[in-house]
């Protein structure tokens, strides 16, 4: 199985979106075993319920036990509610572990966002850089500026790919095969790897097609992705299974002579990446 790059801090195999207005769904999501739960203030929330969503997200951050799952909040873009999103969720007794910034098209957007997070950290007396950024690349402008975006800020820990919005921006026709987004999808993974960031793949939107989900997830793994966005709880297990090294892969990665021949350095690096993924996924001590 191909070996994706490994993030510096934690596994992010499946990150589950959950509308912040749905407290019952959030309570359930916290115990489903996903590597992360994204409290969504953006696309998953009607414009008339944005203020309610912020308050509910802050409350969930304050009083809900997410277990070992990463607690993330997807904010709205600049000029469309981001400032209020940070103000309300950043005042929670326990601020998010990470924020997901959508529609990123420049390095300056990441830097401005980082300065806002620094203010949240000072308020909570957290070490600088404690709160991380995951940036969604979902427009043509974002794709062509990937190099500057990927190197923009030390807080940036992952690049996410948004195929649906990208196709809308390009006027491209979305197909099951995904040829129309293959170049951009690969570019996100390449630029993430160049900066030692994680690449998180686009959601699979057909909830009735588990075989298609698994196939697309495996394709993402082969391109260098470390995880995939999930939009329904039933997608968590198939996604995380694909991104979890098997016992056979771990065993082969731990040896330096394979099938009677010496292992060269590229194979050593690939083996080290598999072992790191296995440790992050909790299948290797």
Separate counts of helices (H) and strands (E) for the chain: 12, 10
| pLDDT tops 70 at residue 5 | no
User: Mean pLDDT over all residues of the chain?
Assistant: 90
Residue 57 has pLDDT above 70, yes or no: yes
CA pair distance 90, 84, nearest whole angstrom = 9
Task: Tell me if 211 sits within 8 A of 227, measured CB to CB.
Answer: no
Cβ atoms of 81 and 75 within 8 Å: the answer is yes
73: phi > 0 → left, psi -120 to 50 → alpha, else beta; which?
beta
Angle at 10 between CA 6 and CA 16, to 5 degrees: 105
- Look at residue 16 in the predicted model and tell me its pLDDT: 98
- Report, as an integer, the average pLDDT of 34-61: 94
pLDDT digits (tens, 9 = 90+) for 132-160: 999 999 999 999 999 999 999 999 999 99
Does residue 264 have an active-site annotation? Answer: yes
Residue 49 near residue 67 (C-beta atoms within 8 A)? no
How far is Cα 30 from Cα 54, in angstroms, rounded to an integer?
18
Domain 14-244 has CATH 3.20.20.60: yes
Asked if 145 and 121 touch (Cβ cutoff 8 Å), the reply is no
CA neighbor of 95 nearest in space, from 141, 163, 39, 172: 39
Q: What is the mean pLDDT of residues 95-115?
A: 96
How much is the pLDDT for 249? 78
Does the model's pTM come out above 0.95?
A: no
Name the band, by pLDDT with cuts 50, 70 and 90, for residue 281.
confident
Report the pLDDT value the prediction gives residue 258, as an integer from 0 to 100: 54
Domain spans in the chain, listed from the N-terminal domain onward: 14-244, 245-280
pLDDT at res. 264: 66
Q: Which residues sit opposite 156 in a β-bridge?
A: 133
Q: pLDDT tens, 193-228?
A: 999 999 999 999 999 999 999 999 999 999 999 999
Catalytic residue (choose from 40, 65, 206, 264): 264
Helix, strand, coil share (%) of the chain residues, nearest 5: 45, 15, 40
- The pLDDT assigned to 6 comes to 40
Strands in 5-130 per DSSP E: 14-19, 36-40, 70-74, 98-101
**Distance in angstroms (rounded) separating the CA atoms of residues 232 and 217:** 15
* Structure-token pair, residue 160: 């996410």
Instruction: Specify burial of residue 94 (Cβ count, 10 A radius: 0-12, 13-18, 19+).
Output: middle
Asked if 271 and 235 count as a contact pair (C-beta separation under 8 A), the reply is no
Reported as a single tens digit per residue, the pLDDT across 155-182 is: 999 999 999 999 999 999 999 899 999 9
**Local confidence band at 242 (pLDDT 50, 70, 90 cut-offs):** very high
Whole-angstrom distance, CA of residue 163 vs CA of residue 174: 8
How far is the C-alpha of 45 from the C-alpha of 152, rounded, in Å? 29
């Amino acid at each position: 199985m191909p070996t994706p790059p490994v993030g510096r801090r934690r596994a992010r195999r499946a990150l589950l979106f959950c509308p912040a207005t749905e407290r019952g769904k959030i309570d359930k999501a916290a115990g489903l075993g996903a590597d992360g739960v994204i409290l969504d203030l953006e696309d998953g929330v009607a414009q008339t319920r944005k203020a309610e969503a912020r308050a509910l997200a802050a409350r969930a951050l304050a009083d809900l036990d997410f277990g070992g799952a990463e607690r993330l909040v997807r904010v709205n873009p600049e000029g469309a509610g981001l400032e209020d999103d940070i103000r309300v969720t950043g005042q929670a007794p326990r601020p998010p572990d990470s924020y997901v910034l959508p529609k990123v098209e420049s390095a300056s957007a990441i830097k401005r966002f980082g300065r806002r997070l620094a203010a949240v950290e000072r308020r909570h007396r957290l070490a600088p850089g404690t709160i991380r950024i995951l940036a969604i690349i979902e427009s043509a402008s974002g794709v062509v500026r990937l190099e500057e975006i990927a190197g923009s800020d030390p807080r940036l820990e992952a690049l996410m790919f948004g195929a649906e919005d990208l196709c809308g921006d390009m006027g491209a026709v979305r197909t099951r095969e995904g040829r129309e987004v293959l170049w951009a999808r690969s570019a996100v993974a390449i630029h993430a790897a160049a900066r030692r960031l994680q690449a998180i793949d686009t959601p699979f939107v057909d909830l009735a097609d588990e075989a298609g989900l698994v196939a697309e997830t495996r394709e993402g793994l082969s391109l260098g992705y470390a995880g995939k966005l999930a939009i329904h709880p039933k997608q968590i297990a198939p996604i995380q299974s694909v991104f979890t090294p098997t016992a056979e892969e771990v065993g082969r990665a731990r040896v330096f002579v394979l099938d009677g021949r010496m292992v060269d350095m590229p194979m050593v690096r690939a083996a080290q990446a598999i072992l790191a993924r296995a440790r992050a996924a909790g299948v290797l001590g």
